[in-house]
């Protein structure tokens, strides 16, 4: 995996933190729905729960919220309805209401693992690592099969231990944490670059996140311990921007690239919780200022001529499972297709696509609503442009 090429093309981990709960939630609803329904009210309740679940799967969180609210009206003592409401509010970033509903679900069923999991996530986002860990411990206790959560719990403990004595510094939009007073200047450099990224990426996408964003600077070794990221990873965004910073003392082009890249992921995540990886990684590389060089262009041209380029729909899932050369290739295709999209249709259309995704459209529908071409037509046009 640790090839020379991979080292050059930094790979970034973009970890989805809440989707693991969907399975647990499905199981819970299935239990509710398979119980014999006896009255019209129970039927209506089950129907609204089911609708909410379907809407949640389609990332239509506002629709899901309305359905769960209806279900709750039929049965206010239902843990499932309050849980559904809590998760929908969470995805809509209304954390205050999310917390209220999740706590209500726990009052009804104190052993509700998913409610504990989401409350942990809420506190994690508030940077209250102690509370987050205690909710996640309960979630793992009540649902021992939640292996992904167990891994995060171990990570949060390492993170907590590592960051306990970190210093911090803030600007209007960012909070940076780092170890050792000698890193004060490094922290300031990072903040200055991120404020530039805030303006530039914000201006291009007409989007400025309304929450303070956290950035954590690690030594190379701490970065490995806390993130489990592969050795070639230049940084990650998992709700916080984490980068190994080594001994930076000045603003370098490499540092700027990493920060712009990860900040773009943060903005994309703030706009839409669901995005195909090629679009996410294409945008991140675009804003970091990465270009397809002459050698890569020639390679893409030759492969395009033989019709051997994969469809973009094959690049929607995580790139992490790809082997070294495949990953390099996937990042290159992502940048190439997204740059073509921006050059041909303008950044505001790309933003439209992100907003369509946020509203629950699948990739095909988001693209056709955004640029008036089907997914396949866009794919073909982009590949023709390479020949």
Q: How far apart are CA 40 and CA 53, in angstroms?
A: 20
Q: What phi and psi values does residue 212 have, to the nearest 5 degrees?
A: -60, 140
Helices (H), the chain: 4-8, 21-34, 40-57, 61-74, 79-91, 95-108, 113-125, 129-142, 147-163, 184-205, 220-227, 253-271, 277-288, 294-305, 324-345, 347-358, 363-371, 375-386
Q: Which residue, among 15, 18, 28, 17, has the nearest Cα to 143 in the 3D structure?
A: 28
Measure the CA–CA gap between 190 and 171, rounded to whole angstroms. 11
In the bound state with Zn ion, the residue whose beta carbon lies nearer, of 186 and 284, is 284
Beta-sheet pairing, 241-244 with 213-218: parallel
Residue nearest to Zn ion (CB): 12
11-14 β-sheet, strand order: 11-14, 233-237, 241-244, 213-218, 174-178, 167-170
CB atoms within 10 A of CB 339: 19
| CB 264 to Zn ion: min, Å | 8
Residue 12 or 274 with smaller CB distance to Zn ion = 12
- Separation CA 385–CA 381 (nearest Å): 6
The nearer residue to Zn ion, 56 or 205, going by C-beta atoms, is 205
The least CB distance from residue 132 to Zn ion, in Å, is: 24
Report the nearest approach of Zn ion to the CB of residue 222 (Å).
Answer: 20
Pairing relationship of beta strands 174-178 and 213-218 according to DSSP bridges? parallel
Find out whether 351 and 28 touch, Cβ atoms under 8 Å.
no
Q: Alpha-carbon distance 151 to 130, whole Å?
A: 16
What's the min distance (Å) between Cβ of 277 and Zn ion? 9
- DSSP 8-state assignment for residue 309: P
Is residue 342 within 8 Å of residue 371, measured between CB atoms? Answer: no
- Closer residue to Zn ion (CB): 338 or 353: 338
- Give whichever of 10 and 82 is closer to Zn ion, judged by the CB atom: 10
Residue 189 or 284 having the CB closest to Zn ion: 284
CB of 241 to Zn ion, least distance (A): 11
Interface residues with Zn ion (CB under 5 A) are: 12, 281, 284
Nearer to Zn ion, 80 or 236 (CB): 236
CB of 284 to Zn ion, least distance (A): 4
- Least Å distance, CB 316 to Zn ion, is 15
Which CB sits closer to Zn ion, 217 or 284? 284
Find the shortest distance in angstroms from Cβ 318 to Zn ion.
Answer: 11
**What's the number of CA atoms in the CB half-sphere (13 Å) around residue 153?**
19
């Amino acid at each position: 995996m640790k090839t020379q090429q991979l080292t050059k093309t930094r790979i970034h981990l973009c970890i989805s933190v809440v989707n693991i709960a969907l399975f647990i939630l499905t199981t819970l609803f299935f239990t509710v729905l398979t119980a014999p329904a006896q009255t019209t009210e129970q039927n209506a309740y089950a129907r609204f729960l089911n609708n909410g679940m379907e809407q949640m799967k389609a990332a239509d969180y506002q629709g899901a919220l309305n359905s769960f609210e209806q279900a709750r009206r039929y049965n206010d003592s239902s843990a499932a309805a309050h849980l559904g409401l809590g998760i929908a509010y969470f995805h809509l970033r209304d954390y205050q209401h999310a917390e209220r509903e999740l706590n209500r679900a726990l009052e009804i069923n104190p052993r509700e693992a998913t409610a504990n999991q989401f409350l942990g996530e809420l506190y994690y986002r508030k940077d209250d690592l102690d509370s987050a860990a205690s909710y996640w411990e309960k979630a793992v206790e009540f649902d021992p099969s939640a292996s992904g959560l167990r891994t995060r719990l171990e990570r949060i403990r390492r993170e907590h231990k590592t960051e306990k004595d970190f210093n911090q510094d803030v600007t209007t939009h960012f909070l940076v944490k780092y170890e050792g007073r000698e890193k004060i200047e490094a922290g300031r450099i990072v903040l200055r670059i991120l404020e530039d990224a805030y303006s530039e990426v914000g201006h291009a996408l007409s989007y400025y996140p309304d929450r303070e964003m956290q950035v954590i600077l690690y030594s190379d070794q701490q970065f490995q311990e806390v993130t489990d990221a592969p050795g070639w990873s230049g940084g990650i965004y998992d709700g916080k921007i984490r980068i190994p910073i080594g001994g930076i003392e000045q603003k370098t082009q490499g540092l700027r690239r990493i920060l712009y890249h990860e900040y773009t992921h943060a903005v994309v995540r703030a706009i839409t919780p669901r995005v195909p990886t090629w679009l996410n990684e294409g945008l991140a590389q675009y804003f970091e200022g990465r270009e397809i060089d002459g050698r890569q262009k020639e390679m893409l041209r030759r492969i395009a001529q033989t019709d051997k380029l994969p469809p973009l729909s094959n690049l929607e899932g995580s790139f992490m499972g790809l082997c070294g050369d495949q990953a390099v290739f996937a990042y290159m295709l992502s940048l190439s297709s997204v740059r073509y999209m921006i050059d041909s249709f303008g950044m505001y259309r790309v933003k439209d696509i992100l907003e369509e995704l946020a509203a629950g459209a699948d990739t095909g529908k988001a693209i056709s609503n955004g640029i008036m071409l089907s997914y396949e037509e866009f794919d073909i046009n982009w590949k023709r442009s390479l020949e």
